[in-house]
């Protein structure tokens, strides 16, 4: 078909498809109702076949027919025109009935369904009442039967043509279900052959033979419908057929399972894609394939003349199959491409996430070490300030302070360098709680910081790095409040029970609610720091078996607590 023919066919179908169907059946009626041996009958059969080619739902109007399909069309036309007998007409009517009846199950519009029902009723009546009796040489035709066929049956076609279908429905293409059409064709063929056999064997009346065939076929259909889903413990033919049809997809299911297992084992996206494509070549219908992705490309297997190309995201697959690509096979290949593309994209996201996690770990380690260095610098500044403000009479006290503080600062700096060299190894150095408490009071001698009395216990030890980090972060934040409000008071309390409990309380402003909600879970914005100090302190506490919480958040009473997890 060329473009002009396709356009003409689409215009005719869009105007009113019932007119084409009715004209086709009227031409067939004219060819059969008065015999098939005349020149007029053969001419009408050619007219009927020509209109059928315009109406037919098998090939789309814009599709070009190849030489084999054109040869088939010519052969069918020659058979209808040159070798027209009643057996051929019976087969042709059964085919037409199957094509129209197979479309009934997919029609939703009531008028269009009524028109199809009238056409199917006409074909079945003409076949059983007129065509099949002509297969018997001794068949006699009563006048009412002749009048019915020649003058009453065309009324069904005229009524079908008179039905007006909505414009929106006319434009929709005619869809034929192959399974239903084949089933109807087999049922009608079985009915015709059954009637013919019963008539020939019994030598009785044809109407009686037809009735007997209808009763037997009805009984068989009722039995099959019960066996399809019997509800008596037997699984039924429907279940067996479904299981058989599902077994056809076992290679696909095995490949999907292998793909999921491969996704769990392989982390590299390129290697995962290569191994998955090697497994895909083991499918029975795949001869070879080629692929092109963002960072890789290649070819596997052998090329063939049957191929299909699919793309998903940045993955493009070209399949070479061992046989022609049917609609179901095309659907399978499309599903294969989509599933492989989803897994490949997930592998790429995992790689990006691993890179981001590595970068985040570097950032968090650097931020934590920056806070440690910042705290050490603050301690050194405190020593420098004490040295600058002390008099000659305080030289001995200053010397004692320096002797106590410099070894601690050197030790903390050594630990910081060790964390920089081995960031994944958490250094835990337990010290006596009493010595840590005394050292803390000596480092912070400000007048606005009050240290509660601590009753020493010789058997209590605490992780010095954790308590130093948490204390200095909390005290620096409280001191920043005190610099803005001179009336802010800071209280530090330590209880040696249950592994040590440190409490730091200030009388400054409360922490904003939106900041307090995520204070220890994610880095938060900070005016004076990196916004990550308390987040890192909370993570460090969790790793050491402690918890850092904001137990009270009210203006004038902001309290943080570091406690060992029970």
Local confidence band at 155 (pLDDT 50, 70, 90 cut-offs):
very high
Count other C-beta atoms under 10 Å from residue 327's C-beta.
Answer: 8
DSSP bridge pairs for 371: none
Closest CA to 22 of 75, 100, 105: 100
Q: What is the SS3 assignment for 461?
A: strand
Query: Quick one: DSSP state of residue 133?
Result: G
Q: Which two tokens stand for residue 430?
A: 């337990």
Lookup result for tokens 């009722």: 222
Evaluate whether 111 touches 170 at the Cβ level (below 8 Å). Answer: no
> Which range, of 43-47, 157-161, 355-359, 425-429, averages the lowest pLDDT?
425-429
- Report the pLDDT averaged over residues 497-523: 82
Q: What percent of the chain has pLDDT over 70?
A: 78
Cα angle value 324/325/331 (rounded, 5°): 165
How far is it, in rounded angstroms, from Cα 248 to Cα 66? 31
How far is it, in rounded angstroms, from Cα 120 to Cα 99? 9
Average pLDDT of the chain, as a whole number = 78
Measured between its terminal Cα atoms, the distance across the chain in Å is: 84
Radius of gyration of the chain (CA): 45
Q: Tens digits of per-residue pLDDT, 183-232? A: 888 889 989 898 888 888 888 888 888 898 889 888 888 887 777 666 55
**Domains of the chain and CATH, by start:** 3-204 (no CATH), 248-357 (no CATH), 426-566 (3.30.565.10)
Of 501 and 283, the one with more pLDDT: 501
Q: Which two tokens stand for residue 32?
A: 């059969």
State the maximum Cα–Cα separation within the chain, in Å, rounded to a whole number.
Answer: 146
Local confidence band at 298 (pLDDT 50, 70, 90 cut-offs):
confident
Evaluate whether 322 touches 287 at the Cβ level (below 8 Å). Answer: yes
Where does residue 556 fall: left (phi above 0), alpha (psi -120 to 50 degrees), or beta otherwise? left
Q: Tens digits of per-residue pLDDT, 364-419? A: 666 666 766 766 777 777 777 767 777 777 777 777 767 767 776 777 677 666 66
């Amino acid at each position: 078909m060329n473009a002009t023919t396709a356009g003409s066919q689409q215009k005719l179908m869009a105007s009113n498809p019932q007119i084409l169907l009715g004209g086709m059946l009227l031409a067939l009626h004219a060819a059969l109702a008065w015999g098939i041996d005349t020149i007029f009958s053969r001419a009408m059969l050619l007219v009927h076949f020509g209109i059928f080619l315009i109406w037919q739902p098998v090939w789309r109007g814009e599709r070009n027919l190849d030489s084999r399909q054109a040869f088939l069309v010519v052969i069918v036309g020659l058979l209808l025109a040159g070798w027209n007998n009643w057996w051929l007409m019976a087969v042709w009517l059964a085919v037409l009935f199957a094509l129209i009846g197979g479309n009934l199950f997919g029609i939703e519009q009531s008028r269009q369904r009524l028109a199809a029902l009238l056409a199917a009723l006409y074909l079945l009546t003409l076949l059983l009442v007129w065509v099949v009796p002509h297969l018997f040489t001794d068949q006699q035709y009563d006048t009412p039967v002749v009048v019915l066929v020649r003058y009453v049956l065309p009324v069904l076609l005229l009524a079908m043509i008179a039905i007006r279908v909505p414009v929106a429905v006319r434009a929709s293409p005619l869809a034929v279900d192959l399974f239903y059409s084949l089933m109807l064709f087999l049922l009608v063929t079985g009915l015709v052959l059954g009637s013919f056999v019963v008539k020939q064997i019994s030598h009785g009346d044809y109407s009686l033979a037809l009735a007997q065939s209808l009763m037997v076929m009805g009984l068989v259909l009722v039995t099959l419908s019960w066996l399809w889903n019997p509800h008596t413990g037997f699984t039924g033919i429907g279940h067996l057929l479904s299981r058989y049809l599902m077994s056809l997809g076992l290679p696909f299911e095995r490949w999907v399972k292998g793909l999921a297992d491969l996704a769990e084992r392989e982390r590299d996206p390129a290697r995962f894609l290569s191994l998955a494509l090697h497994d895909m070549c083991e499918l029975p219908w795949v001869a070879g394939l080629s692929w092109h992705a963002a960072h890789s490309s290649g070819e596997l297997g052998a090329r063939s003349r049957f191929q299909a190309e699919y793309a998903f995201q940045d993955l493009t697959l070209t399949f070479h199959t061992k046989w022609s690509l049917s609609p179901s096979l095309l659907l399978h290949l499309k599903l294969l491409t989509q599933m492989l593309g989803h897994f490949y994209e997930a592998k790429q996201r995992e790689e990006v996430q691993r890179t981001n996690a590595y970068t985040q770990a570097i950032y968090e380690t650097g931020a934590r070490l920056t806070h440690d260095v910042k705290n050490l610098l603050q301690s050194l500044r405190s020593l420098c300030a004490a040295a600058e403000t002390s008099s000659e009479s305080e030289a001995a006290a200053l010397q004692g302070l320096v002797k106590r503080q410099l070894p601690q600062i050197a030790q903390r700096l050594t630990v910081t360098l060790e964390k920089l060299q081995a960031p994944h190894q958490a250094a835990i150095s337990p010290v006596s709680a009493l010595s840590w408490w005394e050292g803390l009071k000596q480092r912070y001698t400000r007048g606005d910081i009050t240290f509660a009395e601590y009753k020493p216990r010789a058997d209590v030890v605490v992780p010095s790095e954790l308590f130093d980090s948490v204390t200095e972060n909390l005290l620096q934040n409280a001191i920043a409040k005190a610099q803005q409000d001179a009336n802010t008071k800071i209280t530090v309390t330590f209880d040696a029970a249950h592994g040590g409990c440190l409490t730091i309380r200030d009388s400054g402003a409360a922490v904003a609610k939106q900041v307090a909600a995520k204070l220890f879970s994610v880095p938060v914005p900070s005016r004076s720091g990196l916004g990550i100090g308390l987040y890192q302190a909370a993570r460090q506490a969790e790793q050491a078996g402690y918890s850092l919480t904001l137990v009270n958040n009210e203006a004038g009473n902001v309290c943080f607590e570091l406690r060992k997890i029970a």
